[in-house]
């Protein structure tokens, strides 16, 4: 996959999630979502965060370039690690929950697709949080849009009735956002 494809997928998930999930469902298992979308997007978010922390720190105090480099590395970690850990914790929790609560065995590739594509909003918001702009409340309110993206994805990827789909959507949203938000808060607070 190319970066052009990744950009188109990112934009379609953010602006036209229904159409994007239809395309994703039609792909089947042709696309390795981790290497084609999730990891490059995480790397891009980390790079943008690194640059944002470094440049804003340099503008504030150019006399300490090594300290700025250290702060930029920490900022990159604060952006990438919460989303990375949230992805794998959520994949584990959702697979177990689908099996025990619904009696449905949901494939690992389906859960990976759902989580990787629905975490697009998390990547965008955590990248924006690296900049010293005071839109933090607005950025966190954007997470509500993740619920709609997950709802659409569950409808296209899994065979749930509406009640199960709603419960699974809420579980996926909470596992994504709460785990990532908790880890982000801990990093931000103690680093």
Q: How many CB atoms lie within 10 A of CB 60?
A: 10
The answer to whether position 87 is within a domain reads: yes
Percentage of residues in the chain having pLDDT higher than 70: 92
15 pLDDT exceeds 80?
A: yes
Instruction: Evaluate whether residue 5 is within a structural domain.
Output: no
In a domain, 91, yes or no: yes
Q: 160 is in which domain, residue-wise? A: 33-190
Instruction: Look up the pTM and report it.
Output: 0.83
Task: Give the Cβ contact number of residue 133 at 10 Å.
Answer: 12
- The pair of three-digit structure tokens given for residue 106, joined into one six-digit string: 């949901």
pLDDT digits (tens, 9 = 90+) for 63-87: 777 777 888 888 888 888 888 888 9
First-to-final CA distance of the chain: 36
Domains contained in the chain, number: 1
71-75, 127-131, 148-152: the lowest-pLDDT one:
127-131
Residue 28 domain flag: no
Q: What is the spatial distance between Cα 69 and Cα 162, in angstroms, rounded to a whole number?
A: 49
């Amino acid at each position: 996959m190319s970066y052009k494809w990744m950009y188109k997928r990112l934009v379609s998930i953010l602006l036209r999630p229904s159409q994007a999930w239809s395309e994703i469902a039609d792909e089947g298992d042709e696309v390795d979502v981790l290497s084609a979308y999730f990891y490059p997007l995480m790397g891009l978010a980390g790079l943008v965060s690194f640059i944002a922390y470094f440049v804003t720190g340099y503008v504030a105090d150019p006399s300490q370039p090594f300290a700025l480099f250290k702060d930029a590395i920490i900022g990159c970690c604060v952006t990438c690690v919460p989303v990375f850990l949230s992805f794998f914790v959520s994949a584990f929790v959702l697979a177990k929950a689908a099996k025990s609560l619904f009696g449905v065995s949901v494939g690992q590739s389906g859960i990976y697709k759902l989580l990787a594509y629905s975490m697009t909003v998390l990547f965008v918001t955590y990248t924006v949080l690296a900049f010293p702009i005071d839109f933090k409340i607005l950025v966190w309110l954007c997470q509500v849009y993740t619920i709609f993206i997950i709802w659409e994805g569950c409808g296209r990827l899994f065979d749930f009735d509406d009640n199960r789909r709603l419960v699974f959507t809420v579980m996926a949203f909470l596992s994504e956002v709460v785990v990532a938000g908790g880890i982000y808060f801990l990093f931000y607070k103690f680093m």
